[in-house]
Amino acid sequence: MPWITLELPEPVHHALTQLSERRGISVSEFLSAEVGEMLAQHEYLDARAKRSTRESFERVLAQVPDVPPDPGDER
């Protein structure tokens, strides 16, 4: 299995270690599972994007009401 070297900020590493310990798996197993999930999500979204069209996007966008944003959402 290929190896990868990864530098993480100390707080991220600490949180990652604690989370993997709570799940009873190694940091490597945790990261491998999470990256696998992320890749599957990207593949799913890429497949959905290939099936979409500009026309269908504009049809859905036309259904959004033209109202000002809620306070705090202006940006």
Global model pTM greater than 0.85 = no
**59 compared with 74, residue with greater pLDDT:** 59
Q: Is residue 38 part of a domain?
A: yes
How many domains does the chain divide into? Answer: 1
Confidence of residue 75 (pLDDT cuts 50, 70, 90): confident
Q: Is residue 23 part of a domain?
A: no
Structural domain boundaries, residue 37? 30-61
Q: Is residue 39 part of a domain?
A: yes
Q: Is residue 7 part of a domain?
A: no
- Could you give the count of Cα atoms lying within 13 Å of 52 in the half-sphere of its Cβ? 12
User: CA-CA distance, 47 to 28, in Å (whole number)?
Assistant: 28
Q: Is residue 19 part of a domain?
A: no
Q: Is residue 34 part of a domain?
A: yes
pLDDT digits (tens, 9 = 90+) for 22-70: 999 999 999 999 999 999 999 999 999 999 999 999 999 999 999 999 9
